[in-house]
Structure formats: structure tokens, C-alpha cells
Structure 1
């Protein structure tokens, strides 16, 4: 891990495929805000708890101009199975190949383990990072912090 991108800096643009194979480009959300959430791996306990909390406690209360994008190194097919099983309707983006390229650009790729740590970035309508938090793999984030940062 090199160190995450700084608040106030431009968010690195990217295009990844979601759980349905649809290309999703970060810059396609300009004019609105994005909560970009990196997590280590699908079907794991802490990640499942975090994404369930997003589904149940964040998305229903988030401002209307906010889009949630989640990213892991899992394949699109893994994301589809997980989204179907858990009822995740937000984009689960695959940073599978080139492996971890987007997580690396945001400074949240654990190079030794080959997956992201828990990094969250709030990006404004101009594509600038306004808030971020990076937690170790074992430490879950609290979506209440996202709501506070967006208010």
C-alpha cells in the first residue's frame, strides 16, 4: 500500500464492470456525489456486514444526489452471486483485471494479500475527494460516519 489519495485532490477516474457486466465509469457521475467504498473480498464476514449496513442503514437515508459504488478484486461473477444472495442493488464493481489497478490508484491495495483494505472516499460533483477513511482489513467502518460527512 502506497498511501491513500489525499482529500482535496482529484479522484482517479476509472471504468470497471458491475455485477451485471455493465461498464461503470466514475466520471459518469459528475454533478452528483459518489461514495466509493473499497472492501477486501465478497462472502467474508466483515465485508458482508458492511455491505448489509450500506443496504439497510445508508442507502435509504442518503441524500438523493449520492451514488454508492463498491469495489473489490473479486470477479464480476462472484459479485453477481453475492448481490443476488444478499439483495445488494447498488453497483459491486470488479477490480479483477488488471488485478487491483483501481485500488492501487487510490492507495488502498494491500500488495502482499492481493486485495484492498477498507477505504472509503466521498467524491464531489467536480470529481474531487472531499472526505476519506481507511481502515485495516479487520476493522469495519460505520456508515453513520458517511451520513455525517455528506450532511
Structure 2
């Protein structure tokens, strides 16, 4: 794995599709903080719990002035079926599908051998710079209370 993006670094601009096929462009979110919650693959229990946790905490995240986004290397149709199966109503889950994991690669968060991203939470500040990053063991569910505490700072 390459070195993850350094704090204070401006993220590359990217446009990814959400589960409904709508474009989400990172630079269009400037002026707001953004939580990028990377999960390796849809349809896995820990990834499901990670995204459902964000959905359940959506109001608290939004109250912190943060836009939460889930993302993985899965395709848009896969993301749509998965989001529907979990009953996601507000959380947008993005497809970093093509080039395969390209955005995760640009941030040093792609596992080349496995072909998917790290499990990680990256907080992007209002200027589009990396403000906080935590990479988790693949089988570890991120501690949502810890994430919320970081977002409230």
C-alpha cells in the first residue's frame, strides 16, 4: 500500500455517481466539511453495519456541519441494490468503480492485492483538504462515537 494522504493536503477533485446514478463532485461541496467513509465491498456484514451506522447518525452528522458519504469500488447498480436492501434514505453511497478504485488509489487508500479500498474515515475540511484520517483493520467496524466526537470538534 502506498502512503495515505497527508493531513492538510488538498484532495484531488473527483466526480463519482451515487446509488441513484447522480453525480457527486467533491469540489462542489467546498464550504462544507465532508466525511468520506470508505468500506471495502458492499454486501458484507461489517460494511453494512458501517453504512447503517452513518444512516442512523445522519442527523447528528449533519448537525455537526458535515456531509457524510460512503464509498467503495462497487458499481452503481450494486450500490443501488445494496442501499435499497439496507433501507438507506439519506446517506449517499458512491461508486469508485471506474477506473477501478481510482479515487481510493489517489488517496493512498487502495489495497492493490485485494482490489478494494481500506476501511477508513477521512474528514475533508471546507477548503477540500484532508483534516482527519483513520484507517481501520479491515474486519474492524469504525467506532461511530469516536467519529462523531471528531466531527464535533
The TM-score, its normalising length taken from structure 2, stands at: 0.93
Alpha-carbon distance in 2 for matches of 1:144, 1:55: 14
* Deviation (angstroms), 1:60: 2.1
Q: Which residue does 2:126 correspond to in 1?
A: 125
* Deviation (angstroms), 1:129: 1.1
Structure 1's consecutive aligned runs of 4 or more residues displaced over 4 angstroms after TM superposition are none
Q: Is the 8 A contact 2:27 2:128 kept in 1?
A: yes
Alignment map for 1:1-151 (pairs within 5 Å): 1-56=1-56, 58-62=57-61, 63=63, 65-88=65-88, 89-151=90-152
Unmatched 5+ stretches in structure 2? none
**C-alpha offsets along residues 5-63 of structure 1, whole Å, 9 cap, x if unaligned?**
0111112221111111111101111111100111100110110111111111x212122
Alpha-carbon distance in 2 for matches of 1:55, 1:91: 9
How many residue pairs were aligned? 150
The TM-score, its normalising length taken from structure 1, stands at: 0.94
CA RMSD across the alignment: 1.1
**C-alpha offsets along residues 81-119 of structure 1, whole Å, 9 cap, x if unaligned?**
011111213111111111010010111110000001111
* Deviation (angstroms), 1:64: 5.2
Q: Is the 8 A contact 2:11 2:129 kept in 1?
A: yes
Q: Is the 8 A contact 2:72 2:95 kept in 1?
A: yes
Alpha-carbon distance in 2 for matches of 1:3, 1:37: 18
Alpha-carbon distance in 1 for matches of 2:116, 2:59: 28
